[in-house]
Amino acid sequence: MINESSVFWSRMLTELTLSFHIIYATIGVGIPLMIMIAQYVGYKKKDEHYILLARRWARGFVITVAVGVVTGTAIGLQLSLLWPNFMELAGQVIALPLFMETFAFFFEAIFLGIYLYTWDRFKNHKRHMLLLVPVAIGASMSAVFITIVNAFMNAPQGFDVINGELVNIQPILAMFNPAMPTKVAHVLVTAYMTSAFVLASIAAFNLLKGSNHIYHKKALFMLMKLGLIFAIAAAVIGDFSGKYLAEYQPEKLAAAEWHFETEDGASLILFGVLDDEEVKYAIEIPYALGILAHNNPAAEVIGLDQYAVENVPPLYIHYLFDIMVMIGMFMFALAGIFVLGKWRNWKFISSKWFKWGIVAGGPLSIIAIEAGWWLAEVGRQPWILYGYMRTEEGTTASSHVDVMLLLFAGVYIILAIGSIVVLIRMFKRNPIEREIEDRHLQDGEHV
């Protein structure tokens, strides 16, 4: 018995929770690494500005972590509450990484607590910095394990189905499924990239709003360098993701590319509108789809004509793909020009309009993360477990999901407003100039 309205509302609620959680989760994965790098550079260069960067980021980070933790708890339980049939089935094969994720998260939580409350407590400051290693590892491993579960939903393996029963279950094989390498790498690298650009956006904003302190300039330069490295990595891994899709989920790639007919030498379509399977006003890059899919411009790329209509994902994911890729390229160019300009002393990178570009980069990166996840999730439709279980078969039979959606939407609004207000207040009340002054006064007393 499938309850159509439950399916719809369950999808809405899952989408809402994930879309909200992913903002805090992405930052939560990337920022510990940024804090660690800043603190390391600070000790290396004996430059208190970098150490203050680490300190101030850590202070803001706690707020975002809190929201990340509670929304992560929500999605963790919602998997069972909204998709009980799916969890009953998939739990038999993929419970291991979910379980391991709680340990990674545990590990991170413990050391984050210690790190936050032991500034200057150790005589050797570097030992304090070392506490960040388990925080950063725990954060990244959480992302790795959860992404493995998502990869399994796209490319399930490690079991056989005989008479409707799952047999020969191999949990490790299920974890190392074909979707896992590209997905995990892509999620990690884009989390680092997004975190760098979000922090860079804040630094640029501060510079625009009149605080010409060298502290913000150092932050900006360091973050743009890091962002550039991760943007390049993201592009390379994105290319591998294309090849994975062409091999294992060709209809997902074909739907994202509006590639209807199987053909050799296919071109890549950007933007455009769809008029009954006819693509209009699009930019076509000849042979690019063959390169993306198989590293060969002349290769045959499977089109949607090979699939039954009921197995094809919604075609609007094409726009999600475009948004993700365009923002990624924009950020790559922005960071590349900035770093190159610093090296070659180009004046315009210090101009106001360029800084506004960097400011825009923060929110844009978040939009790219959202678009990427929607692409990944909507692109897997109609399956919740690719090839084995359709989304509607996994849904709860309970009929109160619509009311829950309203409740959760209310809570997320409260949390979003709350976290933003708290963060703005926290840094407005204690701008960098004042903090440096206060710290010097304190040190003066000791001397």
Partner 1 sequence: MSLELLGISVLWIFLFGYVIVASIDFGAGFFNAYSLLTGKQHILSKVIKRYLSPVWEITNVFLVFFFVGIVGFFPQTAFYYGTVLLVPMSISLILIAIRGSYYAFEAYGTKKGHKGYALAYGLTGLFIPASLSIVFSISEGGFVNIIESQPILDYGALFTSPLAWSIVMLSIVAVLYISAVFLTWYAKKANDEKASNLMRKYALIWAFPLIISSLGIIIELKSYPNEHFAAMTNLWWMFAISGVLFLATVWLIWARTGYGLAVMLLVLQFAIAFFVYGISHYPYLLYPYLTVYDSFTNKAMAISLVVAFIAGLCLLLPSLYLVLKLFLFNKDYVRGNQDYHV
Out of 326, 337, 422, 436, the residue judged to bind partner 1 by CB under 8 A: 422
Residue 229 interacts with partner 1 (CB under 8 A): yes or no: no
Indicate the residue among 121 and 333 with the shorter CB distance to partner 1: 121
3-state helix, strand, coil in the chain (%, to 5): 75, 5, 20
Task: Find the binding residues for partner 1 in span 310-329 (CB under 8 A).
Answer: none
User: Minimum CB separation from partner 1 for residue 255, in Å?
Assistant: 30
- Cα radius of gyration (the chain): 24
Task: Find the binding residues for partner 1 in span 279-298 (CB under 8 A).
Answer: none
56/185 Cα distance (integer angstroms): 28
Indicate the residue among 279 and 415 with the shorter CB distance to partner 1: 415
Out of 87, 288, 315, 339, the residue judged to bind partner 1 by CB under 8 A: 87
Out of 11, 101, 192, 234, the residue judged to bind partner 1 by CB under 8 A: 101
Task: Find the binding residues for partner 1 in span 426-445 (CB under 8 A).
Answer: 426, 429
Out of 172, 308, 309, 447, the residue judged to bind partner 1 by CB under 8 A: 172
- Tally of residues, the chain: 447
Indicate the residue among 214 and 407 with the shorter CB distance to partner 1: 407
Indicate the residue among 283 and 420 with the shorter CB distance to partner 1: 420
Q: Which residue has the tokens 């974890």?
A: 175
Q: One symbol per residue from 65 to 84: x for binding partner 1 (CB under 8 A), - otherwise; what is it? A: xxx-xxxxxx-xxx-xxxxx
Q: Which residue has the tokens 């399930």?
A: 156
User: Minimum CB separation from partner 1 for residue 121, in Å?
Assistant: 4
Out of 12, 16, 41, 116, the residue judged to bind partner 1 by CB under 8 A: 116
Residue 132 interacts with partner 1 (CB under 8 A): yes or no: no
How far the first Cα of the chain sits from its last, in Å, is 76
Indicate the residue among 12 and 98 with the shorter CB distance to partner 1: 98
Residue 105 interacts with partner 1 (CB under 8 A): yes or no: yes
Residue 440: count other Cβ atoms within 10 Å of its Cβ.
10
Q: Which residues contact 278 (CB under 8 A, 6 or more apart)?
A: none
Contact 241, 181 (CB under 8 A): no
Of the candidates 293, 308, 319, the residue with the CA atom closest to the CA atom of residue 374: 319
Task: Find the binding residues for partner 1 in span 347-386 (CB under 8 A).
Answer: none
Task: Find the binding residues for partner 1 in span 149-168 (CB under 8 A).
Answer: 166
Cα–Cα distances (Å) from 248 to 181, 192, 266, 269, 375, in that order, read 13, 27, 18, 21, 16
Indicate the residue among 229 and 415 with the shorter CB distance to partner 1: 415
397/86 Cα distance (integer angstroms): 12
Residue 423 interacts with partner 1 (CB under 8 A): yes or no: yes
User: Minimum CB separation from partner 1 for residue 178, in Å?
Assistant: 20
Task: Find the binding residues for partner 1 in span 42-61 (CB under 8 A).
Answer: 55, 58-59
- What does the DSSP assignment read for 14-55? HHHHHHHHHHHHHHHHHHHHHHHHHHHHHHHHT-HHHHHHHH
